[in-house]
Homo-oligomer: A and B are copies of this chain.
């Protein structure tokens, strides 16, 4: 008889508080992300993942990142990133750069136009994050939230 095999044994259902916290967690995220997405799309004509890619590249050394690293940062699959970068390259915001020492590797590198585009889009994102997230929380709430989120992202590839 199984005793505590977690993968096959029915567990105690969530209690009221656990359930409420879980639903609030999901709902809050869905709500905020959808708002940010709409604002970025509408005001800047940029998808949120595209913005995210530009941000990550701008933060990286030499403004470039391996495709695979960029994919994990942007929480996309490799194939998804390939097409997104295709589009950014077509728009002149990003360049593909082959790696000298490993011919398998491709870097995505942000261009000056990409930096300019990012600088232009940044206020939209900043305002959205403030309006829908940061400014709705007291500093202590924010700290508590962050502290509680830490165990949830522990060991995450994108922790940096």
Residues of A within 8 A of B (CB): 6-7, 10-11, 13-14, 17-18, 20-22, 24-34, 75, 123, 126-127, 129-134, 136-137, 141-154, 156, 158-159
> DSSP class of A's interface residues: helix, strand, loop or mixed?
helix
CA distance A11 to B75 in the complex (A): 27
| B11 and A123 contact, CB distance less than 8 A | yes
Partner of A28, one of B13, B32, B153: B153
Q: Are B144 and A148 in contact (CB under 8 A)?
A: yes
Complexed CA–CA distance, A85 and B28 (Å):
24
Other contacts beyond A21-B134, A21-B142: 4, CB < 8 A: A14-B130, A17-B146, A24-B150, A132-B152
**Closest Cβ–Cβ distance, residue A131 to chain B (whole Å):** 7
Q: Which residues of B contact A123 (CB under 8 A)?
A: 10-11
Contact assessment for A142 and B11 in the assembled complex, using a CB-CB cutoff below 8 Å = no
CA distance in complex: A86, B124 (Å): 37
What 4 A-B pairs come out closest when comparing CB atoms?
A: A145-B148, A21-B146, A144-B144, A28-B152
